[in-house]
Amino acid sequence: MKKVLVIHLNDTETEEQVEFLGQQIQLIYKGTLGDGARAAALLAEYDGKVDAIALDGLPAELQLGGAHRPHTVGAGLRAVAKQTPVVDGAGIRAGLERWAVILADRAEPGIFEEKRILMAPGLNHNGLAQSLERRGSTIRYADPFIYFDLPATIGVGRRNTLEQFGAPTLARLADAPFRRLKAQSGEARRRRAATPFKWADVIAGDIGAIRRYAPDALTHKTVVVECATGADLDDLRARGVSIVATLMPSLNPADNLGRWSAAIIEAVLVSLRTDTNAPLTEDTYLDLMADIQWTPAVRYLQPNEAGINRFAFVIHPLNIGFVRKDPSMRWTRFVPESILEPIAAYTQPFLVSTIRGAVSESTGQRVEGYLYTLGATPRQMVKRDANFTYQRINKAARMAERRGARILGLGAFTSVVGDAGISVAHESDIAVTSGNSLTVSMTLEAAKEAVKMMGAEDLSKGKAMIVGATGSIASVCSRLLAQAIHNVVLVSIEPEKLLELKRTIQRETPGANVTIATKTGDLVADCDLIVTATSAFGQRVIDLTKCKPGAVICDVARPPDINPAEAALRPDILAIESGEVAIPGDVEIGYDIGLPPKTSYACLAETCLLAMEGRFEDYTLGRNIEMERVKEIYRLSRKHGFRLAGLRSFGEYVTPEVVAAKRKLADELRADPARFAKMQAEAATKLAAIPVMSKGVSQSQGLSPVWMLATAATATLGAFWLTRAARRK
C-alpha cells in the first residue's frame, strides 16, 4: 500500500485509507499551525519513509495573473527531503481546474456562463480564473481587500487591472505566514466589506477564505472551490448558497464530495507513478491525469432550488399603453404618444418578473422562467434596422444566461424582425426559439374548437382562408389546414411565394383545392374559417362585412389584425384570438402580459415546454417552420399537461351565452338572404366611417413637424428616465 504524508496548516493528526485509480493509499495527516520549522522537521522525519509528501497550504511559489514570486519559507521546504518527492499542488492545480470547469459545465450546462465571478482569492488559482473567463464571465479579484483590507469598491481587483496589482501583491505576500496565504475558516479580526460578494454570482477560490471573509448572507450564490468538507457545506447552506462545486477528484469511490486538495491529489498521483524516476513535469502529470475518470461534485444546497430547469422569454409593449401601465412609468401620461413611443424604443432590456410554479404533470419536472421586456413597440421595430432589435435581444440573452436560463423565447414582434430568430441564435450561447411551432398547433386547436362551437359538424366539407399565408406561422397553418379541410384560399402580398406554397400543398395533399390571391376581396364570402397572421400596419386586412353568416375568424397576429369596432359590425361572426395556453402547475407569471392569470401566449408556453422536456436546443427559427416540429411540440404539450385555455375575443372570454346568441343570429341570416343583404349594406356604410387600420395603427398616423421638434427637445430627458426605470428593475 502506498503511503502519503500530508503536512497541513491546522493542528490535527490523523490517518485515513483511500482508493484512487484502483489502488489503496494511506494518507497520514500532520498539522503544523502554519509553522515552517515544524513543517521542515516533519519533512526530515518522514523522508524516505513514505512514497510522496503533500505540502497542503504551504506553497513554494505565489502566482497571481502573470506575476510569479517564490515564497520566502515555502521555496526552501522541498530541499529538506532528499529521497521522497515533495509537492504542493502547483503541478496539477491549474490543469485540473481547467478540466474540472469543462466537466462541471457539461454536467450542469450554463452554470458558469455570463456570470459575475469574484475570485476569493485569485492567488494560485490562475487556471480556474482563466477557464471561467473563457465562458463570457466577468472576473473580479478579492485579493486586495482580503489580504490588505483595502477599500472594497467594485473597481478594486478588476481583471484588466490585475497586471498592475498582481506583482505588488505578491511582493507584500512573499514573507507572509502560510495561514495568511491560505486563510482558514473562522471569524476574521476585521470584517471585510460585503459589496464585492453581493455583486458576484459566483464566488471562486479557497473555501477557508470564503467562509472567513464573505458576509453571512450569500443567498442564491454559487461557490466554486478545490475541495470542501461536510462542515463547509453546512456553513454555506446556512448562508443561503445555492450551489457548491468542488473541482478536485474524489479519493473515495463512495464519497464524491471532493474534500481533498490539489496538493493531496498531486502527491497521490506522484506515489502511483509506475516509473518512480519519472520527472515531475507537466507531461508526466498529463499522462497520470488522463487516467482519472470523474465529474466534479456539483451540489444544490437549497432543496427548493434543486432540479429546476430555467428559461427566459422576451416581450415588448404591443402599444405604448403597456409602457404607461408600469408603475415606474406613470409620469409618461403627461408625454404625448408620438413623443414617448420613439424614446421608449431605446430602453435597454430589463427583467420584469420571474415565472414560477410550472410543473410537468407526467414527470414532475419543475420550471422557472425570467420575463424580460424591450421598450420598442412593433411599429418602432419595423421602422428601424433589424440590428437595432437584435442588439437588445442579445443583451437580454446574456442577462438570462447569467441567471441560469438555458433557452430563450422570442415573443410577438421579436420573432418577426429580420430573419425570425436565426441571427439571435447565432449570437447567443443559449438555445433560442420563436415559439411559433406551438403557436401554430394551438391556433389550429383554437380554430377547430371555435368552429365546433359555432355549429359546424364537418369542417372538412367547408372552406378556410389564410391571410398572410406566406408568413412563417401562416404557411404551416395553410399546409395543415389543407390536410384537414381540402379547400383553402391563400392570400398574401407575395405572389411568387403564393405560387410556391400552392405547389407544396398540392404535392403534400393531392386533391386539395387551393385558391391563391393577393387580396381577400369577395373571396371571404364563402369561407367558414378565416385565419389572419399578417405583419401589416395601417391596412384593413379583411372586410368583415363581406363574410358569410356565422364565420369564425382566428386572429393570430400580435398586435391583432382585427379591431373591436370592425368586429362589432357583424355580431354573428365569432372573432377569437390565437390559442392561448394554460401551463400545468400553480403558475404565477408575475407580470401583466395582457392575459388572464395562469394563461400565457403559445410562444411563451413553447419555451417553457422545451425547458420542461429538457430540450435546450434551437427549436423554431426562421420563416420555414417544420411541420414535424409542429406535430412534435403538440405531442410534448399533451405529455406534460399544457392545454388550450378558454377562447377569448378582444380580451374577454367567449361564454356559451355569447356563442348561442351568435349562432342564433347566423341561422336567422342564412334563412333570410334579404335581411342578410340589408345588414351587410348597413355594416359597409358604418365601416367606411372607421379609420383604415391594423394592429391599432391607422393609415394616416404619423408625426407632424411640430411634434418632431418636441420629440427632439424631450428625447434626452425621456431616455434618462426610462434608463433609470430599467435599472431599478
Instruction: Return the sign of the alpha-carbon dihedral for residues 322, 324, 325, 329.
Output: positive
pLDDT for the residue 84: 96
What mean pLDDT, rounded, does the chain reach?
88
Interval 13-58: pLDDT, tens: 999 999 888 899 999 999 999 999 999 999 999 999 999 999 999 9
pLDDT for the residue 726: 46
Peptide bond into 121 cis (omega under 30): yes
Give me the mean pLDDT over the 358-365 stretch: 96
pLDDT for the residue 602: 92
Interval 433-457: pLDDT, tens: 999 999 999 999 999 999 999 988 7
- Assign 645 a pLDDT band (cuts: 50, 70, 90): very high
Tell me which of 178 and 721 has the higher pLDDT: 178
- The total of other beta-carbon atoms located within 10 Å of residue 710's CB is 16
Mean pLDDT highest for which of 17-21, 483-487, 638-642, 709-713? 638-642
Backbone angles phi, psi at 632, to 5 degrees: -65, -45
Q: What is the pTM of this model?
A: 0.78
Beta strand ranges found along 185-254 (DSSP E): 202-205, 222-225, 243-246
How far is the CA of 310 from the CAs of 113, 195, 323, 687, in angstroms? 14, 27, 26, 47
Interval 553-610: pLDDT, tens: 999 887 788 889 999 999 999 999 878 899 999 999 998 888 888 899 999 999 999 9
- Assign 158 a pLDDT band (cuts: 50, 70, 90): low
Backbone angles phi, psi at 549, to 5 degrees: -60, 135
User: Which residue segments constitute the domains of the chain, with CATH numbers given?
Assistant: 2-87 (no CATH), 93-259+284-305 (3.40.50), 308-437+601-639 (3.40.50), 445-582+647-695 (3.40.50.720)
Residue 725: pLDDT over 90: no
- Structural contact between residues 546 and 687, judged by C-beta atoms closer than 8 angstroms: no
For the ranges 399-403, 459-463, 630-634, which has the lowest average pLDDT?
459-463
pLDDT for the residue 557: 80
Give me the mean pLDDT over the 236-243 stretch: 96
Interval 327-352: pLDDT, tens: 767 777 778 878 888 888 898 999 99
- Structural contact between residues 454 and 424, judged by C-beta atoms closer than 8 angstroms: no
Give me the mean pLDDT over the 234-249 stretch: 95
Give me the mean pLDDT over the 248-273 stretch: 89
Q: What is the secondary structure of 103-117 as a DSSP string? A: HHHHHSTTSSTT-EE
Residue 640: pLDDT over 90: yes
pLDDT for the residue 717: 38
SS3 68: strand
Tell me which of 712 and 363 has the higher pLDDT: 363
How far is the CA of 67 from the CAs of 130, 147, 170, 171, 226, in angstroms? 14, 16, 8, 10, 21
**Residues whose CB is less than 8 angstroms from the CB of residue 32 and which lie 6 or more positions away in sequence, other chains included:** 7, 8, 9, 38, 39, 42, 58
What percentage of the chain carries pLDDT values higher than 70?
A: 92
- Assign 321 a pLDDT band (cuts: 50, 70, 90): confident
Cell of 663: 349562432
How far is the CA of 711 from the CAs of 317, 332, 570, 715, 716, in angstroms? 20, 13, 40, 6, 9
- Assign 669 a pLDDT band (cuts: 50, 70, 90): very high
Tell me which of 632 and 377 has the higher pLDDT: 632
For the ranges 215-219, 228-232, 251-255, which has the lowest average pLDDT?
251-255
pLDDT for the residue 696: 52
- Assign 707 a pLDDT band (cuts: 50, 70, 90): very low
Tell me which of 317 and 458 has the higher pLDDT: 317
pLDDT for the residue 287: 76
Residue 702: pLDDT over 50: no
Cell of 602: 403559445
Instruction: Return the sign of the alpha-carbon dihedral for residues 130, 131, 133, 139.
Output: negative
- Assign 254 a pLDDT band (cuts: 50, 70, 90): confident
pLDDT for the residue 57: 96
Tell me which of 334 and 381 has the higher pLDDT: 381
pLDDT for the residue 722: 45
The answer for 136, left when phi > 0, alpha when psi is -120 to 50, beta otherwise, is left
- Assign 695 a pLDDT band (cuts: 50, 70, 90): very low
Cell 420555414: give the residue.
Answer: 624
pLDDT for the residue 191: 82
**Residues whose CB is less than 8 angstroms from the CB of residue 545 and which lie 6 or more positions away in sequence, other chains included:** 569, 570, 680, 683, 684, 687
**Residues whose CB is less than 8 angstroms from the CB of residue 107 and which lie 6 or more positions away in sequence, other chains included:** 295, 296, 298
Interval 205-229: pLDDT, tens: 999 999 999 999 999 999 999 999 9
